[in-house]
């Protein structure tokens, strides 16, 4: 038992003291690591050899890695339009999760919901799109290329490339 500043007796357990000591040790380790980093950077400043310069020089000297042969190029395409093209070309696979029942097979006169552009705008910015409105998308649309492996697994070989090629076709003018 110990007396604290607020004139109350407080019980301290050995676990509390151990936790405090561990926190102090961790803070000391972090300070030591920070000091070592500062010292190392100080030494580099003296020589003018900054790590950033080395990384930039190495990147400029190394050849670019070859593109993934499976990747589909979506450079210059609107991400929502890409999501719509993939959604339109996909097979309905997750409608049991969307309230269409466990035996939904795409037939039987069940009307599919229309593409929701408001949801698509938000969804196209996400890291990875698993399913969108009941259709398997299974890819990340944020870059300039997409990896169609899992989309094609669910929708047939080459399905993503066909959907993007169809999106890239010029629209007929009326």
pLDDT at 7 > cutoff 60 = no
For residues 66 and 145, is the Cβ–Cβ distance under 8 A? no
Q: How far apart are CA 17 and CA 94, in angstroms?
A: 53
Q: What tokens were used for 106?
A: 């795409």
The three-class DSSP label of residue 145 is strand
Map out the domains of the chain as residue ranges.
2-61, 72-168
The rounded percent of the chain whose pLDDT value lies above 90 is 17
Please give the radius of gyration of the chain, using alpha carbons only, rounded to the nearest integer: 28
Q: How far apart are CA 30 and CA 22, in angstroms?
A: 12
Q: What tokens were used for 68?
A: 């993934």
pLDDT digits (tens, 9 = 90+) for 50-92: 555 555 565 565 555 556 778 899 999 999 999 999 998 887 6
Query: What is the per-residue pLDDT for 131?
Result: 85
């Amino acid at each position: 038992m110990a007396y604290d500043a607020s004139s109350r007796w407080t019980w301290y357990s050995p676990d509390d003291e151990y936790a405090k000591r561990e926190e102090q040790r961790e803070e000391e380790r972090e300070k030591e690591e920070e000091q070592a980093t500062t010292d190392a950077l100080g030494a580099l400043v003296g020589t003018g050899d900054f790590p950033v310069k080395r990384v930039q020089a190495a990147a400029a000297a190394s050849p670019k890695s070859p593109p993934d042969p499976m990747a589909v190029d979506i450079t210059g395409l609107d991400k929502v339009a890409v999501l719509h093209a993939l959604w339109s070309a996909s097979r309905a696979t997750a409608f049991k999760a969307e309230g269409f029942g466990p035996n939904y097979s795409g037939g039987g006169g069940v009307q599919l919901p229309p593409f929701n552009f408001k949801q698509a705008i938000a969804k196209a910015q996400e890291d990875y799109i698993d399913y969108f409105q009941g259709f398997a998308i299974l890819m990340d649309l944020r870059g300039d290329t997409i990896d169609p492996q899992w989309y094609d697994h669910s929708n047939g070989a080459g399905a993503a490339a066909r959907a993007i090629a169809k999106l890239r076709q010029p629209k007929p003018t009326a």
